[in-house]
Amino acid sequence: MTYAADRDGAEATVAAVRDLGGGAVAVHLEAGDPASAALAVDAVEGGLGPLDALVANAGTTADGVALRMPDAQWRAPLDVNLTGTFRAVRAVGERMAARGSGSVVLLGSVVGTHGNAGQVNYSASKAGMIGLMRTAARELGPAGVRVNLVAPGFILTRLTDVLPDDQRDALRRGAALDRLGTPEDVAGPVVFLCSAGASFIHGAVIEVDGGLAL
Is 122 among the catalytic positions?
yes
Whether the Cβ atoms of residue 208 and residue 152 lie closer than 8 Å to each other: yes
Active-site option among 78, 119, 120, 122 = 122
Query: Do 40 and 2 form a contact (C-beta atoms < 8 A)?
Result: yes
Residues marked active site are found at: 122
